Every structure is written in C-alpha cells, then in structure tokens.
Amino acid sequence: MPQLANARLSGDAFQFTFPGQRGHTNRVECTTNFVDWTVVTNAFGTNAPITFRDTNILLNGWQFYRVRRL
C-alpha cells in the first residue's frame, strides 16, 4: 500500500498525498469500521505525487482512509 503523507483538515476538506506510479491505478477507499470499505475514487498512473481531497468530510463525519495500488 502506498504511504499517505501530509494528512490534514484544510478548511472544509480533508486531504492527503500519496506517491503515484506510472502504469498503475491507485484506489482510495474509506471506512468507519475497518470491515466495510467503500471506493471513493481511482487515481491513474503518474510518477508525480497525487493529492486526494474529500470535500464531504463535514457532511459524512470522520472516516478512515487507505490507498490500494491495483
């Protein structure tokens, strides 16, 4: 799993970055119970860092995130 970095609440959004890898898809998932994971988005191959922003964090409440490289 890619390592998440720079996780922070910025205004009304929660954001973090993770390393991309050309030719690979990274799937961002979230959960509230560590059992049921929901796909939030897919980030497609790049060699640059990828920034994920969840602008619904105040509506959905606190969640846990992970990034899986497919």
Please tell me whether residue 18 adopts helix, strand or coil conformation. strand
Element (H or E) spanning 29, and its range?
Answer: strand 25-31
CA-nearest of 25, 31, 6 to 16 is 6
Q: Which domain holds residue 40?
A: 5-69
User: How many structural domains are present in the chain?
Assistant: 1
CATH number at residue 60: 2.60.40
Task: Cite the DSSP H helix spans in 26-66.
Answer: 57-60
Q: Which of 9, 11, 4, 10 is nearest to 43 (CA)?
A: 4
Q: What is the share, in percent, of the chain residues with pLDDT greater than 90?
A: 64
Tens-digit pLDDT profile for residues 33-51: 999 999 999 999 788 999 9
Overall average pLDDT of the 6-15 stretch: 90
User: Alpha-carbon distance 34 to 28, whole Å?
Assistant: 14
